[in-house]
Every structure is written in C-alpha cells, then in structure tokens.
Amino acid sequence: MRNPKKTTAKPKSKSSSKAKTNSAAMDTDAPSSSAPAVWRPGVDPLAEDEELDYDPTAYDCLHRLQLDWPSLSFDIIKDDLGAPRSTFPHTMYMVAGTQAENAKQNYLAFLRLEKLGQGRHGKKAKKEEEDDEDDDMSSEEDEVEEDDNGGEEPPKMHYRTVMNVGGINRVRTCPQQPGLVAVWVENGQVKLLDATKLLKELSEETEPCNRQRAKADLRPLHSYTHTTEGFAVDWSPVKSGRLATGDCNNKIHVWEPQEGGRWQVSGAYNGHSGSVEDLQWSPTEETVFASCSVDKSIRVWDTRERTKPMITVQAHDSDVNVISWNRLVSYMMASGADDGTLRIWDLRALSQGNHVSHFAFHRGSVTSVEWCPYEGSMLASAGEDNQLAVWDLALERDPEEEEALAPEGNAMAPEDLPAQLLFLHAGQKDLKELHWHSQVPGVIASTAGDGFNVFKASNM
C-alpha cells in the first residue's frame, strides 16, 4: 500500500440525531470492570462471546468525538490559555479536514472543545472501586445511577466549518501564527488560510451554535497546485511562515513568505525516486529539513542547494511513511514504515545508516509518529493495527518492580513486550494520525476512521 495515510474504505455514515444538531457527537467513555489481563491485537485470540474492556484507572481522562465524515488529518491549535496546564477541566482547539463520500461535501472544521473533565477516570475511578467494596451491603433500591461524566458537566464542542471541494489529505497550523493553516487537498492543491478571526469567534462563543450558523467562508491567502496530490507538509519552527510540501510525483517545494501576505514557491527539490510521504523542518536550523519516501529513504536537505540532498540513508526495508524530528533533542529523529517497524536515528551519524533503536511492534503500517513536546525521551506511534503506542526510550525492564506492582491489580506484561513501551491505547479503528498537546502535558489526540479520541494516560 503506497500511502497508508489515505483511507480506501467508504466514509462512515452520518452521525445520530444528536450529532446532526451539532455537526458532531461527543461523549465520555464509561468504565467497567474485568479481570486484569493483557490482550495483544493480532497475537491473542478473542472468542465470539468475549468483549474487550479497559481499566478506567489507566486514564486520567478519555473523550471521543466525531464529525460527519472521517478525517485523515488534524492539528492541535496553539491557544493563549497558558502552559503548562494540568487542572481539569481542559479546553483545547483543533482543526480537522474531512474525507466525505462526495467531493463537495468536504469541509475544514475548526473546533473548540471545552469542559474536558476526567469523567470516571483516574483517581476518581479508583475511589469508586473502593467505595463499591465498602458498600456491598447496600440494596439495589438504594443505588443511584451516576452519569458517564462522573457528576461533571458534559464536554461541549464549538465549531465552524469551511467548505472545501475535495478530500483533505493533510492539515497543519503554523507554530508562530496559530491561525495560519496549510491544507493539502486530494486534487493536488495546497491552500493557505487565515482563520485568526474565526478562532476569536469560537473563543468568545458561550453556547455551541447550530449547523447553519457554523458555516464560515475563508478565501485562501495563497494556493499552489502540484502535478498530483500529496501528503507531506510542514511549517518551519524557526522561520515564521516558511513551509515545505511534497507530493506523490517525488517533488518537494519550499514556500517563502513575501511582503503583502503572499508566498513564493520554489522549483522542485529532486532526489527521491518515489512518493514523498512526510517532511520535517529542523528545530534549530532555518534552512534544513528532512523528507521520507516510498523509496525507503530519509533525506536531509538544505534550502540553499536544491539539486541534491546533503544526506541520504536507506532507512527501512519498506516504504517510509512518517518521520518526526525531536524538538527537545535536536539530533534525534524517529521514522515509521509500511512493515510496522519504528526506528530512532541519531542525526549526527545518520550518513552511516545505523539506527539507535528498532521496534518491530506494530502489526500493520505505521501511520503516525511524533515526539513528546515536553519530554525528550518519549514519543508516540500509531499504526494500521489499530494501536497507539507511547514509548519512553529511557525505560528498562525491572522484573522486581513489576512483581511488586502485581498485587495492586496490575496485569503482568508479557516477556515479548518491549521495555520501552510505556502505554498502549486501543479501541479506534483505522488509526491515521496522532498529536501531543504542547500546552497540556500528557494529553494526546488521535483520529481514525471512526472518529477522534482525546486522552491522557495516568502514568504520564
């Protein structure tokens, strides 16, 4: 499969009546109990009469939301609410693009999610378990059914939709100008939109509006049409407004901001012999960026030399789908491939082709990888095996500690699980992309064929 990022399944049908009122449905997962055991997708069998469940104490929060159509790509928008934030409930802003059944039904959705509480997760869940044990003499008549939010106000979604003809392959916001959004459309066009005023409207809105009022009109500041569609796009974290885009015809273009709110798009950077799947700018050098491709390589470029890359390495034995440049440890890079492997690279020795770490964990193509923005040794990956894994490269297996924790109800980890695997999130189908929240430590959002999850693991 050349581009695991792009879905080939039919889009999900429209949501329930509640969703039709708000153009999206949002709720909080409710917990239930089960005997502690580790179940590994693709490894452990599941009988027809068995159902998977999760331990609510494993999460500090877990929320689900849906748009009318599946989304291949989204981004978390930086806000002015401060950082780091740790007190519940949380508010966050997102932008997401749809993959609708009909090209004219697609849109870009700008979201404000508020009152993201803990629900019945984390310490609340633990306390409820203890209270249940102490209260096992109570009668059924005395029991009071609590709502799924654990007594908290339910989450709310405020949104605006900007119609777009064609499915949206990738969406990225500019780190220095959060309202500036780059949109890769399946017709080969890349558009830049300024949503600053729209986001201000969302921040001032007290109650979510209806579908008709949510429609907004944004004219592109600039657009450029590649010779074919693509998925690779990244904003420079060093040079405000500088952008790189790559397509399925092996071409990369760099966008330079000009006076008057326009951009100049460079000629093609030639080097890859296959589709360019992902791009990442250096976190410290404004002229340096990296690319990965179905030609199995990672290449490092300097904008001052367009004819050839500075470094080329055959990074995997199959298509390289995604890369992530560590913002805290600038010489570290992660890559994920079509064969499910995840590799960590020391860029100081990249030309030698030796990776620092190799994880053959995912049992499907790796579709997303991203370093944690506040902990240099942590990263997360997602794959077509419907698993989202959080890794900590600083971890080592400690059998004594695992045995000591076992009496507290923790399931013992199988011996073949990597010691660096910190957390495993499941429950979504056809996972496509994940992002860490840079202002709320530990919070991760992910999109899949059946909607979005926003969660924080209790051990992060």
pLDDT in tens, 415-441: 778 999 999 999 999 999 999 999 999
* Domain assignment present for 372: yes
Residue 44: the pLDDT is 79
* Domain assignment present for 388: yes
In angstroms, the CA 92 to CA 62 distance is 14
pLDDT band, residue 408 (cuts 50/70/90): low
For residue 254, what is the domain's CATH number?
2.130.10.10
* Domain assignment present for 275: yes
What's the token pair of residue 231?
A: 């998925």
Residue 140, pLDDT above cutoff 50: no
pLDDT in tens, 331-390: 999 999 999 999 999 999 999 999 999 999 999 999 999 999 999 999 999 999 999 999
In angstroms, the CA 275 to CA 21 distance is 40
Residue 47: the pLDDT is 84
Residue 37: the pLDDT is 64
What percent of the chain clears pLDDT 90, i.e. is strictly above it? 75
Residue 5, pLDDT above cutoff 50: no
Residue 138, pLDDT above cutoff 50: no
pLDDT in tens, 161-219: 999 999 999 999 999 999 999 999 999 999 999 999 999 999 999 999 998 999 999 99
Better-scored residue on pLDDT, 448 or 38: 448
pLDDT in tens, 13-71: 333 333 333 344 455 554 444 546 667 776 778 888 888 788 899 999 999 999 999 99
The answer to whether the beta carbons of residues 298 and 315 sit under 8 Å apart is: yes
* Domain assignment present for 361: yes
Strands 243-246 and 90-97, sheet pairing: unpaired
* Domain assignment present for 38: no
DSSP string, 177-234: STTEEEEEETTSEEEEEE-HHHHHHHHH-SS---HHHHEE----SEEEE-SS---EEE
Residue 128: the pLDDT is 60
In angstroms, the CA 44 to CA 182 distance is 41
How large is the average pLDDT for residues 404-418? 68
Residue 148, pLDDT above cutoff 80: no
Q: Where are the beta strands (DSSP E) in 71-144?
A: 73-77, 90-97, 107-116
Among 11-15, 239-243, 438-442, the least confident range: 11-15
- Show the domain range for 61: 55-130+147-457
Q: Is the peptide bond before 154 cis (omega within 30 degrees of 0)?
A: no
The total number of residues shown for the chain amounts to 460
pLDDT band, residue 123 (cuts 50/70/90): confident
Mean pLDDT of the chain: 87
For 253, the 3-state DSSP assignment is strand
pLDDT in tens, 253-281: 999 999 988 999 999 999 999 999 999 99
Residue 139, pLDDT above cutoff 50: no
Residues 6 or more apart whose CB falls under 8 angstroms from that of 427 comprise 52, 54, 386, 453
Among 172, 22, 156, which Cα is nearest to 97's?
172
How many domains is the chain partitioned into structurally? Answer: 1
* Domain assignment present for 15: no
* Domain assignment present for 7: no
* Domain assignment present for 283: yes
pLDDT band, residue 129 (cuts 50/70/90): low
Better-scored residue on pLDDT, 149 or 255: 255
Among 31-40, 77-86, 232-241, the least confident range: 31-40
pLDDT band, residue 146 (cuts 50/70/90): very low
Residue 141: the pLDDT is 35
